[in-house]
Amino acid sequence: MTMINAYAPDSAGSLPERERALIARRERLLGPAYRLFYADPIHVVRGEGSSLYDAEGNRYLDAYNNVASVGHSRPEVVEAMARQAAVLNTHTRYLTDGILDFAEAFLAEFPAELSHLMLTCTGSEANDLALRVARVHTGGTGVVIAHNAYHGVTSALAEMSPSLGAAVKLGDHVRVVPAPDGYRMPEAEVGAAFARSVEAAIADLREKGIAPAALLVDTIFSSSGVFTDPAGFLAPAVEVMRKAGGLFIADEVQPGFGRLGTHMWGFARHGLVPDIVTVGKPMGNGHPVAGAVFRPEVIEAFGKSQRYFNTFGGNPVSCAVALAVLRVIKADRLQENALAVGTEMIDGLRALAAKHELIGDVRGSGLFIGVEMVRDRKLKTPASEETARVVNGMRQRRVLISATGQEGHILKIRPPLVFSSEDAKLFLATLDEVLTAL
């Protein structure tokens, strides 16, 4: 199975001896299923802020890793982790204060209708829990997802993640709808078109005797190609699912935590209050903590009929880390920074589009940006090979990005929220240099 921006083992001969030895050791110990990024993989040994450093001490500008949301090795987060680990770490079947302190602070960032929090270790676990709750609440099993979506690595979520490739079969209860592509249709038509697709998917489920349980979408459609506009386009599709008796599950694992600049959460850009929200990745700045937020009426039947326990989900160390991350986002006004620096980057990318024909479209919000690369602007033909060359050209110049979309032709740009104006200028100058060389 080919992965976007993956290292090809047959090119190992071009690598330095140390990296070749590391790759050989990796294959011997970890087996064949893992993948590395870039034609020339990077041997990283340290991170700080928006930077990663290799074994020679070279700095790489990180414009991709949204997991380290408040910056690599953020001191406040490291200190909170160490302080709590030195005192207590246990599970949620004992009474502890930390989980409640975090829950109060975290739920304050959501609409009042979303008032119950359950904690897990990963976004995959959070989405898995959300689906279990949705099935109990609705009595249905059918799930509608977007084209080339990614929602997790458990068996249940892998069969709802077409971005994992054709070898991973989708579930019989899963229906895929086209992505809300405002580049290939007038923006004014995006919402209605997406809603019609969801309606058709529900009808097909019912024809097969499957009742709908949920519309599950990443609210910025990260793996589908980064589709953000027009704000509000998601609302008609949510209404269609709710009228059919299903729920709206907003997967905020990638777009959440202020990354979009204008709002803390992607669903808020669309003026929506979901039934369930799932969160993860940036929640712990690299520490494995995630969760799901529910409307109380949605989780009521699940809570009465069955219990949920996760040995590590919601442990005191994870809660201390998550609270530290949330406090840094608020104290350092990182959502505002995402909007300011993201706007600078989007404006700069659109200026580059006027210079480089390869750029067909620039879209995004805050520090989550997609740049669609095309061979022909009129035909909008995906430029997959050229995109790979851009990604690797940036890596050679020590700026890290990746690609997305089924054809792998959309640059995926989502740096840590501490990305500065100086970082943005370096990013834009480097991309201009790579495109000129191409």
**Smallest Cα–Cα separation from 409: which of 146, 153, 184, 151?**
184
Give the burial class of 304: count Cβ atoms within 10 A of its Cβ; 0-12 exposed, 13-18 middle, 19 or more buried.
exposed
pLDDT at 1 (0 to 100): 46
pLDDT at 37 (0 to 100): 86
Angle, helix 334-355 to helix 316-331, in steps of 10 degrees: 70
CATH 3.40.640.10 placement within the chain? 75-332
Q: Could you read off the pLDDT of 203-228 as tens digits, one per residue?
A: 999 999 999 999 999 999 999 999 99
Task: Provide mean pLDDT across the span 249-254.
Answer: 97
CATH number of 17-73+334-437: 3.90.1150.10
pLDDT at 2 (0 to 100): 62
- SS3 label, residue 270: coil
Which two tokens mark 354?
């006027």
CATH 3.90.1150.10 placement within the chain? 17-73+334-437
pLDDT at 32 (0 to 100): 87
**Smallest Cα–Cα separation from 295: which of 67, 55, 118?**
118
**Smallest Cα–Cα separation from 272: which of 261, 281, 263?**
263
pLDDT at 13 (0 to 100): 58
DSSP of 259-300? TTSS-SSHHHHTT---SEEEE-GGGGBTB--EEEEE-HHHHH
Gap between the Cα atoms of 402 and 91, Å rounded: 37
Residue 293 scores a pLDDT above 60 = yes
For 154, 202, 217, 247, 336, the CA distances from 136, given in Å and listed in that order, are 19, 18, 19, 11, 39
pLDDT at 3 (0 to 100): 75
CATH number of 75-332: 3.40.640.10
Task: Provide mean pLDDT across the span 9-23.
Answer: 78
Report whether 409 contacts 184 (CB < 8 A).
no
Gap between the Cα atoms of 122 and 152, Å rounded: 9
230 upstream amide cis, omega within 30 of 0: yes
Strand partners, 381: 376
Gap between the Cα atoms of 379 and 75, Å rounded: 49
Gap between the Cα atoms of 175 and 200, Å rounded: 10
Gap between the Cα atoms of 431 and 409, Å rounded: 15
Which two tokens mark 81?
């982790």
For 237, 352, 434, the CA distances from 388, given in Å and listed in that order, are 33, 18, 12
Q: Which residue has the tokens 């209708």?
A: 113
Query: What average pLDDT does the structure give for the chain?
Result: 95
Which is higher by pLDDT, 7 or 174?
A: 174
DSSP of 300-361? HHHHHH-----SSTT-HHHHHHHHHHHHHHHHTTHHHHHHHHHHHHHHHHHHHHHH-TTEEE
Task: Provide mean pLDDT across the span 80-95.
Answer: 97
Task: Provide mean pLDDT across the span 398-403.
Answer: 97
pLDDT at 376 (0 to 100): 95
Which two tokens mark 236?
């008609």
Report whether 64 contacts 416 (CB < 8 A).
no
**Smallest Cα–Cα separation from 428: which of 148, 49, 63, 28?**
63
Residue 111 scores a pLDDT above 50 = yes
Which two tokens mark 301?
């039947």
Gap between the Cα atoms of 148 and 165, Å rounded: 9
Task: Provide mean pLDDT across the span 179-195.
Answer: 96
- Supply φ then ψ for residue 291, to 5 degrees: 180, 180
Which two tokens mark 332?
């350092």
Phi-psi region of 41 (alpha: psi -120 to 50; beta: other; left: phi over 0): beta
Collect all residues with Cβ–Cβ distance below 8 Å to 322 and sequence separation of at least 6.
Answer: 102, 106, 283, 284, 287, 289
* pTM summary value: 0.95
Residue 324 scores a pLDDT above 70 = yes
Percent of the chain with pLDDT over 70: 99
